[in-house]
Amino acid sequence: MEKKRVVKVLLIFIVFILTACSGSSEWEGTYGGTSTNGDKVEIIVNEDGSIIYNENGEKIEGQWTENENSLNLDFNGEVSSKSEPLILTISSDKQIITLDSMNSSWNADFYQRR
C-alpha cells in the first residue's frame, strides 16, 4: 500500500514539473498603443524569439534575446538605425511593456497587452 502512495506522489510531482516547464514565455503576446510620435504601434512577441514591430501598418520583423529582466530587440536597424538594439521591459502585472533604448534620443514608449 505504501508503495502505491509513493508512486502516486511521484506521478503528481512529475505532472506538476512538466506543466511548469511547458508554460509560455511571460513576454509572449500582442501589445499596442500610440507612440510618443503619435504613430499607432503594435508589437507581437513570439515565444520562438521572433518579434514583429508594426507601425501604422508597416511590419518589421526582428529577433529578441532575453536578459534577466528585459528583452533586447534587433531589427537590423530597420526600426531605428541609431537606437537599436531596443530594450523591452514589462510591468509586474505583465500588462504593460516599455520600449526604450540606451540612446538618449529615443523616447520611451508604453504599450498595453491586448
What are the pLDDT digits (tens) for 45-100?
A: 999 999 999 999 999 999 999 998 999 999 999 999 999 999 999 999 999 999 99
- Distance (Å) of CA 94 to CA 10, 20, 84: 32, 18, 23
The pLDDT value given to residue 2: 74
Could you give the number of structural domains in the chain?
Answer: 1
The pLDDT value given to residue 6: 55
Long-range contacts of 40-47 (CB under 8 A, 24+ apart): 41/109, 41/111, 42/114, 43/88, 43/97, 43/99, 43/111, 45/71, 45/88
Answer yes or no: is 69 within a domain. yes
Average pLDDT rounded to a whole number, residues 12-35: 68
Domain that holds residue 70: 26-113
Burial letters for 51-88: b for 16+ Cβ neighbours within 10 Å, e otherwise?
bebbeeeeeeebbbeeeeebbebbbeeebeeebbbbbb
Answer yes or no: is 51 within a domain. yes
Looking at the predicted structure, is the pLDDT value of residue 107 above 80? yes
Answer yes or no: is 15 within a domain. no
Answer yes or no: is 86 within a domain. yes
Average pLDDT rounded to a whole number, residues 24-40: 92
Taking phi first (over 0 means left), then psi (-120 to 50 degrees means alpha), and beta for anything else, what does residue 27 get?
Answer: alpha
Answer yes or no: is 80 within a domain. yes
CATH code of the domain containing 81: 2.40.128.640
Q: What is the largest CA-CA distance in the chain?
A: 69
